[in-house]
Structure 1
Amino acid sequence: MKALLLRDIRLAVRAGGGFGLGLAFFLIVVVLVPFGVGPEAAVLTRIAPGILWVAALLAALLSLDRIFALDWEDGALPLLATSPLPLEALALVKAVAHWITTGLPLTLAAPALGFLLNLEPGAYGWLLASLALGTPALSMIGTFGAALTVGLKRGGLLLSLLVLPLYVPTLIFGAEAVRRGAEGLEAGVPLMLMAGITFGALALLPFAAAAALRVNLR
């Protein structure tokens, strides 16, 4: 599993779907928001939690179609399916690799971009905590969607349509946690609900992704 994880991280970085693409998109969205809504500090402070979470979600979405596509194109996926490694473990490793190359950089970069949106000082810790808890769920849900659409022509659009509705609860609780932190309120409840979503996704979706892969590889 460790060798497969390191291989997927190298592939993600070399293919351009890792650190650079997601971070660049994240930065572009955050920079463009003041041009669209105006430079008023009060307005930016109010919308900053939602904008940061939406930008992070969309940035994570960009590289989802690469999770299984590269292995499908070079014929490695059928070989991996016949290896001693269970497909459930394969799906989990793919999700972890996606999180390391996409979710983790977005989490670490978020405080710097929050400064551009005049995020309240008290919200930075909650922003980091919410993204650290929520982005693994985005990667695992995205891995499930990628398993459903692997091998389909123009599957990227279908993947987005399948995954985005499943991202909504994580987006709601993540933005709410940051908003409450910015207002000095208790944000523990949204974080616990988000943690429940993440742990539930990590516990259940590897099996769903493995079942989807078995159907697509027949």
Structure 2
Amino acid sequence: MIALLARDLRLAVRAGGGFGLGLAFFLIVTVLVPFGVGPETELLARIAPGILWIGALLACLLSLDRILALDWEDGSLDLLATAPLPLEALVSLKALAHWITTGLPLVLVAPALGVLLSLPAEGYLWILVSLALGTPALSVIGTFGAALTVGIKRGGLLLSLLVLPLYVPTLIFGAEAARRGAEGFSTATPLALLAGITFGTIALLPFASAAVLRINLR
């Protein structure tokens, strides 16, 4: 399992869909927002948590089609499906590799980019906590979408359309937790709901992803 995880990490970086592309997109979104809405500090501070969460979500979308597509194209997905490792563990490792190369860098850089959006000092901790708690769900849901569209030519747009509605609850509660934290209010409720979504997807979606893969590989 460790060897497979290391292989997926190397593929994610070499294929150009790793942390560099996601971070660059995240930075571009953060830089462009002040140009679009104006330089008012109060306005930027109010919308900063939501903008950071939207930027992180869209950055995660960039590399979703590469989670399984590369293995499908070179035929290694068929070999992995016949290996002793269960498909549920395989898709879980794929989701973990995606989070390490895409989600984790976004979590670490988000507080620094919050400076560009005049994020209040109280909000830096909460944007870090909410993204750390919510981005694993984005990777697991994205892996499920990748399993649904594997083998479809130019399926990237379809994958985005399938996954985006499933991302909405994570976005709502993640941005709400960061916003409440930045304004000094209690974050217990949105963080609890966000944790429920993340743990629920981690517990259930690998089985759904594995079932879809078995159908697509027949």
TM over 0.5: yes
Deviations 1:121-180 (A, max 9, x none): 001111010000000000000000000000001110110000000000000001000110
In the TM superposition, what is the alpha-carbon distance from 1:188 to its structure 2 partner?
1.3
> 1: CA distance between counterparts of 2:57 and 2:177?
15
Deviations 1:92-139 (A, max 9, x none): 000000000000000000000001000010011110100000000000
In the TM superposition, what is the alpha-carbon distance from 1:32 to its structure 2 partner?
0.2
Residue of structure 2 equivalent to 1:124: 124
Residue of structure 2 equivalent to 1:91: 91
Residue type of the alignment partner of 1:119 = L
Deviations 1:188-213 (A, max 9, x none): 11111100000000000000000110
Q: How does 1:53-64 map to 2 (within 5 A)?
A: 53-64=53-64
> 2: CA distance between counterparts of 1:115 and 1:81?
45
Provide the identity percentage: 79
Residue of structure 1 equivalent to 2:215: 215
Q: Secondary structure at the match of 2:60?
A: helix
Give yes or no for the alignment of 1:184 onto 2:171: no
Q: How does 1:118-197 map to 2 (within 5 A)?
A: 118-197=118-197
Number of residue pairs matched by the alignment: 218
> 2: CA distance between counterparts of 1:217 and 1:139?
22
Moved over 3 A (4+): none
> 1: CA distance between counterparts of 2:199 and 2:215?
25
RMSD: 0.4
State TM-score, norm by structure 2: 0.99
In the TM superposition, what is the alpha-carbon distance from 1:14 to its structure 2 partner?
0.6
Residue type of the alignment partner of 1:96 = L
Gaps of 5+ in 2: none
Deviations 1:25-59 (A, max 9, x none): 00000000011000111110011011000000000
Q: Secondary structure at the match of 1:85?
A: coil
Give yes or no for the alignment of 1:36 onto 2:36: yes
Residue type of the alignment partner of 1:194 = L
Q: Secondary structure at the match of 1:121?
A: coil
